[in-house]
Amino acid sequence: MANTYVFSGFPGFLASNLVKEIFFEGYPVDRIYLIHLPSLKEQALGRLEELSEVMYVDTDKLTLVEGDITLKSLGLEKDMNVILQRDVTHFFHLAALYDLAIPLPESWNVNVQGTREVNRWLKNCSQLERYIYFSTAYVSGRREGTIYEHELIHNLGFKNHYEYTKYEAERLVEQEKAHLPITIIRPGIAIGESSTGETVKFDGPYFILNMLDRFKGSPLIPYFGEGKAKVNLVPQDYVLKATTYLAHVYKGEGKTYHLTDPSPYTAREIYKMFSEAFINKEPKLTLPTFMANRALKLRPLRTWVGMQQEALAYFNCESEYDTTETQKDLKGSGITCPDLAVYLPAIIEYYEHHKQNKRKHVSIF
C-alpha cells in the first residue's frame, strides 16, 4: 500500500531534500502534500520546478498546499483539510524558525505554538502511521557532560531563543507519545553533503572558513580559547538518509534519535583541520575567548567575518551526545555518520568555488 505524506516547512531545505530521498529510496508514494505559507507561493513553485528536474522524482505526485501551522487546522482550506486528515500516513513536521538570533515572540509563535497546532491536528488523522518531529540535539541547552537520547527535561538554561523554543516544542511532542506514533529527530550542526560538499548556505561551522578566508594573508593565525568542547558536525546527507530510514521502520516509533557524530572532534581540532586544509597554515598562539566575544558585538565585524555572536557558544559548551539508540536502530541499513576528516576536502573545495555568493546568517538544523 502506498504512503501519503504531508510536509510542513516547504520550500525549505529539509522538506525539499527529504522528498527527493523518499523517491530515491523507492518508498511507495501515493501523494506528497507540501504545506507552504501563502507568502512563499512563488518560492514553492520555483522549488517544485527544481524537483521536476530530478530524474527519479515523480512531480505528478506532489501537491502544493497553502497553510500556516500557527493557525487552527494549520490554516488549511476546508476541503483540503478533510482530504489531508483522511489520507495522511506520514507527517513530517519541519517548519520552524532556525535563526539563532531570532526574537523570542516570533520564535515561540512558529516553533511552539505551531507545534501545538500540529499535535492537535494530527489527533484527527485516521490513517496516521508516523509523526516525524524534527527537533535539534541542542534542546540540551547549557547542559554539559553526556546527553542521552531519552533525556529532555532540565533547568540549566539555553544559549539562545532557538534552543529554548525547540525545547518547549519537543516537550509538547514528547507528551503525545502515548497518543501518536511519534519519531523525534535531533540532529547536530549541519555541514555540507559528504561526497560533494554541497550546501544551501555557508552558516554554522562555515564561519571558521569565512574567518580564515579573511585572514589568510596574515602571517599568524591564532586559536581563540582552549577549544576543549566537542563540536557536533553532521553532513546533510547523513541526516536526510537516517531520518528517512527511521521514519519508515517499525522500531522507530516512540523513539528519540540523536543524529550526531558518535566520534566528534573538539573545537580546537576542527579549527586546526580547517586551517591546514583551507589555507595550509597551522594556527599558533591562543587568544582568550572573551576577545572574540567582544569583537563580535560589532555589527560591521560580524558581517565581514560572516558570523553571529550567538554561534560562539556552540564552541564552548562541553556536551557529548550519546547515539546508542540511533546506532542500534540504523544497524544493517548501511547508514553511518562519516568521519569529518574523510569528507573535509569536499567541504573545502565546494566552499572555495561558491564562497562569494553564499555567505548567509548563522543557523543550525
Q: What is the pLDDT of residue 294?
A: 72
Tell me if 4 sits within 8 A of 30, measured CB to CB.
Answer: yes
Beta bridge partners of 224: 287
What is the DSSP-derived secondary structure letter of residue 9? S
Tell me if 62 sits within 8 A of 23, measured CB to CB.
Answer: no
Burial class (CB in 10 A: 0-12, 13-18, 19+), 56: exposed
Tell which residue, 185, 144, 132, 153, has the closest CA to residue 321.
Answer: 144
Q: Which residue has the cell 523570542?
A: 104
214-254 tens-digit pLDDT = 888 888 888 887 889 999 999 999 999 999 999 999 999 99
What are 36's three cell numbers? 507552504
9-26 tens-digit pLDDT = 999 999 999 999 999 999
- Beta-carbon contacts of 84 under 8 Å, excluding residues fewer than 6 positions away, are 6, 33, 65, 76, 125
Residue 128 and residue 198: Cα distance in Å, rounded?
Answer: 34
3-class state of residue 84 by DSSP: helix
- Beta-carbon contacts of 362 under 8 Å, excluding residues fewer than 6 positions away, are 99, 100, 101, 203, 204, 207, 307, 308, 310, 311
Cα of 146 vs its chain's centroid, Å: 21
In angstroms, how far is the first alpha carbon of the chain from the final one? 32
Q: What is the pLDDT of residue 285?
A: 81
Helix 340-354 to helix 267-279 angle (10° resolution) is 50
Q: What is the pLDDT of residue 286?
A: 84
Structural domains for the chain: 3-189+233-259 (3.40.50.720), 191-232+264-319+338-357 (no CATH)
Burial class (CB in 10 A: 0-12, 13-18, 19+), 220: exposed
Tell me if 344 sits within 8 A of 277, measured CB to CB.
Answer: yes
What are 153's three cell numbers? 527535561
Spans in the chain with pLDDT lower than 50:
359-365
- Cis? peptide before 11, omega within 30° of 0: yes
Q: What is the pLDDT of residue 359?
A: 46
Tell me if 25 sits within 8 A of 244, measured CB to CB.
Answer: yes
What are 149's three cell numbers? 537520547
Tell me if 64 sits within 8 A of 53, measured CB to CB.
Answer: no
